[in-house]
Amino acid sequence: MFIARPAGAKGIGLFATQLIPAGTRLLAEKPLFTVASESEAYAASRRLGSHDRKTFLGLVGGDARERSKRLWVEAGWHTVKEVVRDVANVIGKRNGAITWPRAPSYLNARSIFLSNNFALSTSPSMRAIFPNISRLNHACVPNTEANWNANLDHFTVHTLSPVPEGEELTLSYLESHGAVTADRQEALRGFMFECGCAACAMGTPAARRGELSRADLQIKVREFAQSDGSKGELSIMQSMLRMYEQEGIRGRELATMYIATAKMAHSTGALEDARALAKRGLQLEETCCGSDSPFFAKSLADVEKLQLGDLDGGTASVFDTTDLPQVAAAA
């Protein structure tokens, strides 16, 4: 379904070798190892069995790619500010000491770790290295999402939209997707690279439209914060959802927003809207996590509490998104 191959300045990336439908489970992986800090990475890599160690060393490291990544496992994202120390600093501290074992191997292990680790939002202080998930590069509008599945005891990666053959599989290292380009680039500076994804390529009409749309979203968020009537809040939420849909942003962030908005609509008696919103929220949740995920089960239970009846029987509403322009996921 996909292969690992060079992805230009980003090092190695994963690419679709066929059209992959939305909601496909691409990967289910456990970390090769988890550590509390990068200083433990070398020792952890030495403890790996020969097969896993070979996998680890097969990941590409390099000064130009030093960064940390994140996996989003829930809507309330934890932010862990990653401070990547200078390699020379570490060498300076250790140089001359008798405990300088296999220096090239140490540097190699450290470089691979820095280029490929994820901060886990299940336990924000921990960093993990994965055999394949670590190879996924960033895009501001990604076509995959990684989530922890406690039932499987694995991280899963699902496609969020159909991915054409030859397109790179990407996930987002950012904690939310509504930020304008300058703010996203600022946040990504912590990962030591500049994003060149389609949403950041300001020369294109789609990127310019997305930028205006995100700026509008910022205004909506402020309106929402100042709003005191539930009717007003509902319409603000609805236009935020529409913006996400139009920009091709999918995943748990949006699923969670849909379910929350369904609850809002339900509380104002707009049951037809509540039904459509809940249905779309569950759809998105299943796409990004799978129906065997506890996240899906939780959202389903939340929706069932609203007693909206048969969701399949709902009529078309403003949230029937089939008429919305589908924006190609950023490569």
Among the listed ranges 53-61, 83-91, 194-202, 245-253, the one in contact with Zn ion (CB under 5 A) is: 194-202
Contact 138, 13 (CB under 8 A): no
Give the list of residues 6+ apart from residue 64 with CB closer than 8 angstroms, or none.
9, 192, 193
Residue with tokens 């030591």: 192
Structure tokens given for 22: 């939305």
CB of 188 to Zn ion, least distance (A): 7
* From 59, 71, 146, 195, residue interacting with Zn ion (rule: CB under 5 A): 195
Q: For residues 57 and 179, which CB has a smaller minimum distance to Zn ion in the complex?
A: 179
Q: What angle do CA 125, 179, 116 make, to 5 degrees?
A: 40
x/- site string to Zn ion, residues 207 to 246, per CB under 5 A? ----------------------------------------
Site for Zn ion in 114-143 (CB under 5 A): 140
Residue selected from 27, 44, 197, 284 as contacting Zn ion according to rule CB under 5 A = 197
Q: What are phi and psi of 30, to 5 degrees?
A: -100, 155
Q: What is the closest distance, in whole angstroms, from the C-beta atom of residue 139 to Zn ion in the complex?
A: 6
* Matching residue, tokens 């009846």: 309
| Closer by beta carbon to Zn ion, 114 or else 197 | 197
Coil/strand/helix, residue 171: strand
The residue range among 81-89, 121-129, 192-200, 252-260 that interacts with Zn ion, by the rule CB under 5 A, is 192-200
Which is nearer to Zn ion, 182 or 318 (by Cβ)?
182
Q: How many chain residues bind Zn ion (CB under 5 A)?
A: 5
CB of 290 to Zn ion, least distance (A): 27
Neighbours of 320 (CB within 10 A): 13
**CA 272 to chain CA centroid, nearest Å:** 31
Q: At what angle do helices 230-246 and 205-226 cross, to 10 degrees?
A: 160
200 binds Zn ion (CB under 5 A): yes
Partners of 168 in the β-ladder: 15
Footprint on this chain of Zn ion (rule: CB under 5 A):
140, 195, 197, 199-200
